[in-house]
Amino acid sequence: MEEELISNDPGVSGLIKEKTSKILFDLVTAIPESLVSPTENPEIKIKTLIKKASVKTGVLSATLAIPAGSVGVLTIIPDLTAIWRIQAQLVADIAASYGQIAVLSREAMVWCLFRHTASQLVRDVAVRTGSRIIMQKVSVSALRALLQKIGIQASSKLLGRALFRAIPALGAIGSGAYAYYDTQEVGKTAQAYFKGLADQNKIQKEKTPD
Q: What is the CA radius of gyration of the chain?
A: 18
- Mean pLDDT per block of 10 residues along the chain (210 residues) reads 43 70 89 92 95 94 63 67 94 96 94 90 82 86 90 73 54 78 96 91 71
- 129 bridge partner residues: 132
Q: d(Cα 176, Cα 182) in Å, to the nearest integer?
A: 10
pLDDT recorded at residue 197: 92
Q: How does DSSP classify residue 204? A: H
Q: d(Cα 42, Cα 37) in Å, to the nearest integer?
A: 9
Tally the residues of the chain.
Answer: 210
Count of structural domains within the chain: 1
Rounded to the nearest 5 degrees, what angle is found at the Cα of 154, between the Cα atoms of 150 and 160? 145
Model pTM?
0.85
pLDDT recorded at residue 106: 94
Q: d(Cα 19, Cα 195) in Å, to the nearest integer?
A: 33
**For residues 95 and 104, is the Cβ–Cβ distance under 8 A?**
yes
With H, G, I as helix, E, B as strand and everything else as coil, classify residue 136. Answer: coil
> Helices then strands (H, E): number in the chain?
9, 2
pLDDT recorded at residue 45: 95
DSSP 69-122: SHHHHTTHHHHHHHHHHHHHHHHHHHHHHTT-GGG--HHHHHHHHHTTT-TTTS
pLDDT recorded at residue 169: 56
Q: d(Cα 70, Cα 121) in Å, to the nearest integer?
A: 30
For residue 122, the enclosing domain spans: 2-207
CA-based torsion, 195, 81, 142, 116: positive or negative: positive
Q: How does DSSP classify residue 102? A: G
